[in-house]
Amino acid sequence: MNAFTNRPKRPIVTSSDDGGYVHDPSTFDEDSDSRDEDEEWVDDPAHPATADREFDWRGWILVGVMFFAFIVSPAMILLVPPGLEYRFALIILPLFPAALLALTAVWATTRA
């Protein structure tokens, strides 16, 4: 004999308002008290061309690190003397330029 003969009925989902919860975004926005007071940027946003974004010395440092990561480091992996360990040649040599490139990219794109 099966102890689980009473299976729960599947809920019937309808689009009518039968007393259940019906989400209405407009009423949700009206009930919210956490409105931002300074929403001027939404009405009149600044054009990206007006931002102070120049290719300065940070950009050149990033280009240098990219050159090191994509040209110098792979060349070192190919030319590494066979006397060095396998782990050093295939793990440490690619890992160092990748971490350096990530840190430099974040540093170069953040403005103080």
Question: Which sign does the torsion angle of CA 34, 38, 44, 46 carry?
Answer: negative
Quote the pLDDT of residue 98: 93
Quote the pLDDT of residue 90: 76
Residue 78: CB atoms within 10 A of its CB come to 8
| One pLDDT digit (tens) per residue for the chain, 112 residues | 555 566 655 555 555 656 667 777 776 665 555 555 566 666 676 776 776 667 788 889 999 999 999 999 888 878 866 676 777 777 877 888 999 999 999 998 886 5
Domain boundaries, the chain: 53-112
CB of 105 closer than 8 Å to CB of 73: no
